Amino acid sequence: MNWDDLRLFLAVARTGSISGAARQLDVQHSTVSRRMRQLEEKLGARLLERKTGGYELTQAGEDIKQAASRIEREVLGVDGALLGKDTALVGPLRVTAINNMANSVFMPMFAGFTRQHPLVELHVAVSNSDASLAQREADVAIRLTNTPPDTLIGKRVVTVASTIYASRSYLEQLRQQGGEPRWIGVDCCEFHKTWTRQCCGEQPHHFISDDTLLTLSAIREGLGVSILPCFMADTDPLLQRYCEPDPAYNLGLWVLMHPDLKRTARVLAFRDYMIHAIKARGDLFEGRCPECQ
């Protein structure tokens, strides 16, 4: 066996599918499938069993996964030691950020960093799921959470406030006709699903969105009310707050990185730049932007 075979196998084991591993490693589906067959032939044992919706590991597969994970930690430890000595502001930098932030308030910040450090290749992966910094899927993660992983280091930069929003026309209609607001269903993250369930109970949803940018568009169209971060909705002239922000909806905005990268120049430069830029927009994130009220 070689490390590339084990790395490929770990991707399949963690994603639960050939296609998921192919996307993670940026290779062809057929390549992953062929090399998995070759690995099983080398070992003389089946590692995967096809199940509905994906694959499950056999006992042999579980044993190989544990061994491969130990090897991975050693390999990444060597990589981390080398990366930690990288003092030049040059080379690739992989960042993962939340979709609604990356497409709006973060984009000018990313552009500013790129102009300031033109030799750094900034790769931004837009995702609402956690990319594993420990497995080098990203160098820096910008995340909304109140409980960041213990294995990462970072800083809580600001508090992000959220509240309930509706279109101005829908709110006017609601005031005239009375009654309870109609809630838009959300499936973007556990935070918003939980908050929505607490607010509207068992009310049926006639429209459900799995993305906050789509939810914002649905609110504009007058389909009902929903909870959104203040930095998204306060700047939209078609939207209006249904009520003031509830501290129960507050989340921390963190800039996180792996401890092995704490001496890598381009990672530190990006971290410091983003912390400064985010703090400069603190009123917007915290729902205190005067011109947005």
pLDDT one-digit tens code per residue, 228-260:
999 999 999 999 999 999 999 999 999 998 877
Contacts of 196 (CB under 8 A, 6+ apart): 183, 185, 186, 226, 227
Residue located via tokens 């061994």: 67
Is 60 exceeded by the pLDDT of residue 187? yes
pLDDT of residue 183: 94
* Whether the predicted pLDDT of 83 surpasses 70: no
The percentage of the chain sitting over the pLDDT mark of 70, rounded to a whole number, equals: 90
Question: How much is the mean pLDDT over the chain?
Answer: 86
- Of the pLDDT bands very low, low, confident and very high (cuts 50, 70, 90), residue 1 is low
Of the candidates 170, 184, 162, 175, which has an alpha carbon nearest to the alpha carbon of residue 233? 162
Query: Is the model's pLDDT at 127 over the cut of 80?
Result: no
* % of the chain beyond a pLDDT of 90: 44
Q: Hey, what domains does the chain have and what are their CATH numbers? A: 3-83 (1.10.10.10), 91-160+251-292 (3.40.190.10), 162-249 (3.40.190.10)
- pLDDT score of 290: 61
- Comparing 207 with 190, which gets the higher pLDDT? 207
Give this prediction's pTM: 0.68
**pLDDT in the model for residue 291:** 55
pLDDT at 136 > cutoff 70: no
Cα 159 to chain centroid distance, Å, stands at 17
| pLDDT band, very low/low/confident/very high, at 263 (cuts 50, 70, 90) | confident
pLDDT tens digits, residue range 14-57?
888 888 888 877 778 888 888 888 888 888 888 888 877 778 88
Residue 157: band (very low, low, confident or very high) from pLDDT cuts 50, 70, 90: very high
Q: pLDDT grade, residue 128 (50/70/90)?
A: low
pLDDT in tens, 52-79: 777 888 898 888 888 888 887 777 665 5
Could you report how far apart the first and last alpha carbons of the chain are, in Å? 61
The stretch 134-151 carries a mean pLDDT of 81
- pLDDT for 29 equals 84
User: What distances in angstroms separate CA 67 from CA 40, 70, 87, 268, 287, one per listed residue?
Assistant: 15, 5, 33, 33, 48
Q: Taking 80 as the threshold, does the pLDDT of residue 126 lie above it?
A: yes
The answer to whether residue 102 scores a pLDDT higher than 60 is yes
pLDDT at site 23: 81
Which of 119-133, 141-155, 245-259 is the least confident region? 119-133
Residue type, 100: N
Sign of the dihedral through C-alpha 48, 51, 56, 59: negative
Q: At a CB cut-off of 8 Å and minimum separation 6, what does 271 contact?
A: 140, 154, 155, 255, 257
- Amino acid 130: pLDDT: 55
pLDDT score, position 119: 93
Q: What is the mean pLDDT of residues 111-123?
A: 95
Burial class (CB in 10 A: 0-12, 13-18, 19+), 274: buried
Strand 91-97 vs strand 120-126: parallel, antiparallel, or unpaired? Answer: parallel
Q: In this predicted structure, what is the pLDDT of residue 50?
A: 83
